[in-house]
Amino acid sequence: MWAGNAWRAALFGVPRGRRAQSALAQLRGILEGELEGIRGAGTWKSERVITSRQGPHIRVDGVSGGPGTVIFPGPSLPHLSCCIHLLSFTSGILNFCANNYLGLSSHPKVIQAGLQALEEFGAGLSSVRFICGTQSIHKNLEAKIAHFHQREDAILYPSCFDANAGLFEALLTPEDAVLSDELNHASIIDGIRLCKAHKYRYRHLDMADLEAKLQEAQKHRLRLVATDGAFSMDGDIAPLQEICHLASRYGALVFVDECHATGFLGPTGRGTDELLGVMDQVTIINSTLGKALGGASGGYTTGPGPLVSLLRQRARPYLFSNSLPPAVVGCASKALDLLMESNTIVQSMAAKTQRFRSKMEAAGFTISGASHPICPVMLGDARLASRMADDMLKRGIFVIGFSYPVVPKGKARIRVQISAVHSEEDIDRCVEAFVEVGQLHGALP
């Protein structure tokens, strides 16, 4: 016995428990070094705690604000534009950084639909879809999504990140090629990494470079051009007419991620393909239920029926993730209903977006993108963006500074997002605070 212990001590040097402690101490040292590097670079991301429902006016833990009013379409009337319903509370921090484009995250009808689904279908399925996790509401929502986008079929995922993770690996083989805009969302990039297709990256919105890559990719079986419809960090919109023209010329398919377009871009909110008149030329759309369409969670792919059938058989995030909870499905379904009943709220966003952009540019700020409710206030320096965002909160405006690795180094910004339920007074108050804080920090003369 002693000989065995001596042999172990000689072989491993220290007892097992001490080795484990040593490994943990080493890990802690590595992690603390990484975290200190993030703090030192000025890119540390803190999480502010909201103590109210999501909306244009919110309450934030530890921050006081003035009276606030939330404006909702009348809950007893069928259309979004018929009436307004006012909810007042004592703390009015103005939220200008949510993806709550249509203001439906706390809409009374959306909440009621979620409660009804929770009561009727339960809290969850405790299963993936193909075992015992498909309810009638899941199939109904998928059919509604396909109808909304004028596609053959649709498939639900827990998130659009999962939809992007599931698509490329299931669809593309080593015989194929995927051509991706260099500024595509991280979920598209990660999804492409999972597949075995040949990978081409073209310069952002550069159609000459895309054409050169398409020419190079002619040797492959399938060619799939992948782009965001609206780019979430810059607020610019993909030139889908040109992309679709090149795809047709070189025999390629077109995939568009519409997370920052579904519900509010285009005459009826169908997205960038509707906005630019190419709905019949885009093959595959991935989008989210977690932004304009209720803001809870969930994503989807919609497109050709055989593709959706293949994804049900092979997409790993679909096969190995629990079904969307019934309450989430109910909320998203009602949000779609409201959107399809009236597009008035969609049309109101353009004027509000233009009001903010024009006033900020007149004050001397540089706003990236054009005509999209994502309005990035470009500042360059990460610390400046973070400090200005903190001082905006002190003035009752909730915005967040974005810096590396979310955006490239030297391209830090405060991303402002306009919602249909922001009032003109809300927008003017936000601009006034930006001017005051910008002058305080030397971002404005």
Instruction: From 341, 376, 395, give the residue that closes a domain.
Output: 341
Q: How far apart are CA 323 and CA 298, in angstroms?
A: 10
What pLDDT, on a 0 to 100 scale, did the predictor assign at position 88? 37
Q: What are phi and psi of 322, to 5 degrees?
A: -60, 155
**337 and 348 fall within a common domain:** no
Known active-site residue 260: yes
193 and 276 together in one domain: yes
Q: What is the C-alpha separation between 441 and 445, in angstroms, rounded?
A: 10
pLDDT at site 241: 98
pLDDT tens digits for range 110-142: 999 999 999 999 999 999 999 999 999 999 999
Backbone angles phi, psi at 405, to 5 degrees: -95, 5
The active-site residue out of 187, 232, 287, 403 is 232
- Quick check: 72 pLDDT over 50? no
Instruction: Indicate if 232 belongs to the active site.
Output: yes
Residue 359 annotated as catalytic: no
Shared-domain flag, residues 190 and 253: yes
Whether residue 98 lies inside any domain: the answer is: yes
Q: Assess whether 314 and 210 both reside in one domain.
A: yes
Residue 437 lies in a domain: yes
Domain CATH number, residue 320: 3.40.640.10
Paired with 377 in beta bridges are 367, 414
d(CA 239, CA 142): 28
Both structure tokens of 101:
């484009």
Q: Is the pLDDT of residue 90 over 60?
A: no
User: In this structure, are 351 and 207 located in the same domain?
Assistant: no
CATH code: domain of residue 408: 3.90.1150.10
DSSP string, 44-69: ----PPB-S-SSSEE-BTTB----EE
Average pLDDT, the chain: 90
**What does the alpha-carbon distance between residue 176 and residue 424 come to, in Å, rounded to a whole number?**
50
**55 lies in a domain?**
no
pLDDT of residue 333: 98
Q: How confident is the model at residue 64 (pLDDT cuts 50, 70, 90)?
A: confident
Does 274 lie in the same domain as 296?
yes
> Which whole-number Å values give the CA distances from 154 to 65, 232, 365, in the listed order?
43, 23, 41
CB 107 within 8 A of CB 421: no
CA distances to 70, 319, 433 from 390, in Å: 23, 42, 12
15 found inside a domain: no
Reported as a pLDDT band with limits 50, 70 and 90, residue 79 is: very low
How many domains does the structure of the chain reveal?
Answer: 2
Both 326 and 347 in a single domain?
no
Q: Which domain holds residue 212?
A: 108-341
Confidence of residue 344 (pLDDT cuts 50, 70, 90): confident
Q: In terms of domains, do 390 and 322 share one?
A: no
Q: Does 27 reside within a domain?
A: no
Among 57, 107, 213, 260, the one annotated catalytic:
260
My answer on whether 211 and 358 are in the same domain is no
Q: What is the pLDDT of residues 266-284, one digit of tens each?
A: 999 999 999 999 999 999 9
One domain, residues 296 and 378: no
One domain for residues 433 and 352: yes
- DSSP state for residue 324 in the 8-state scheme: P
DSSP labels, 93-111:
EEE-S-S-TTS-TT-HHHH
Residue 395 CB neighbours (<10 A): 16
Q: What percent of the chain has pLDDT over 70?
A: 90
pLDDT of residue 8: 55
| CA distances to 44, 372, 411 from 415, in Å | 16, 12, 12
Report d(CA 235, CA 445) in Å as an integer: 25
pLDDT at 4: 56
* Residue 81 banded pLDDT, cuts 50, 70, 90: very low
Tell me which of 185, 213, 291, 411 is the catalytic residue.
291
**Residue 206 placed within a domain:** yes
pLDDT band at 217 (very low <50, low <70, confident <90, very high): very high
- Taking residues 315-336, what's their average pLDDT? 97
